[in-house]
Amino acid sequence: MPGWALISASEKQTLKIGRLIGRCLDAPLLMLLQGDLGAGKTVLARGIARGLGVATRIPITSPTFTLMNHYPARIDLYHFDLYRLSGPEDLMDIGFDEYAFGDGVALVEWPEKLENPAIAGLWIQISTMPAGQRRLTFSAQDATSQGHLQRMLTHFRSAGLELCEMEK
């Protein structure tokens, strides 16, 4: 299945998109969020966590200094932020492979630090645009992720979100 993209007009809409994503996910899944600083990766992660059922009283923050936060929910969410990753030994110390390829949903900010652009998973590239908009481009690297991508597409369409482009 080819990838696709949509435009988020605001932080509020990015949260809504994240909630829609979280509601249609099942496990296991590795999600990889790419984007510059301030692009909205953590905002999208917060929405995904809420869609998975993480209680609103629990703050969803980027685990920049701890590398990983665990959020129990309908499906366990393992939220990684690799921005300050100093080396592969950091990943081994926190059991990255166990969580990223385990039974839950693993959400990875800054996946380029893994130095594997073809890692199997569902990729979301967030790009900033004028007037505070964000372009979210979705693609899948494996059959499991393609199934999730198709469910998201159906879910987004039924929620009235308009795709801005289909990739060939």
pLDDT score recorded for residue 100: 86
Alpha helices in the chain (DSSP H): 11-24, 41-52, 88-94, 96-100, 143-158
- Residue range 126-153: mean pLDDT, rounded: 90
Say if residues 126 and 40 touch (Cβ distance below 8 Å): yes
pLDDT band at 166 (very low <50, low <70, confident <90, very high): low
For the segment 41-83, what is each residue's pLDDT rounded down to a tens digit?
999 999 999 999 999 999 998 877 778 899 999 999 999 998 8
Answer yes or no: is pLDDT of 167 > 70. Answer: no
Say if residues 32 and 158 touch (Cβ distance below 8 Å): no
Residues with Cβ within 8 Å of residue 127, at least 6 apart in sequence: 35, 36, 39, 134, 135, 137
Question: To the nearest whole number, what is the mean pLDDT of the chain?
Answer: 88
pLDDT score recorded for residue 161: 83
Say if residues 166 and 156 touch (Cβ distance below 8 Å): no
Tokens of 51: 């869609």
pLDDT score recorded for residue 99: 87
Tokens of 79: 């939220």
CA distance 107 to 109: 7
Which domains are assigned to the chain? 4-129 (3.40.50.300)
pLDDT score recorded for residue 165: 58
Answer yes or no: is pLDDT of 1 > 50. Answer: no
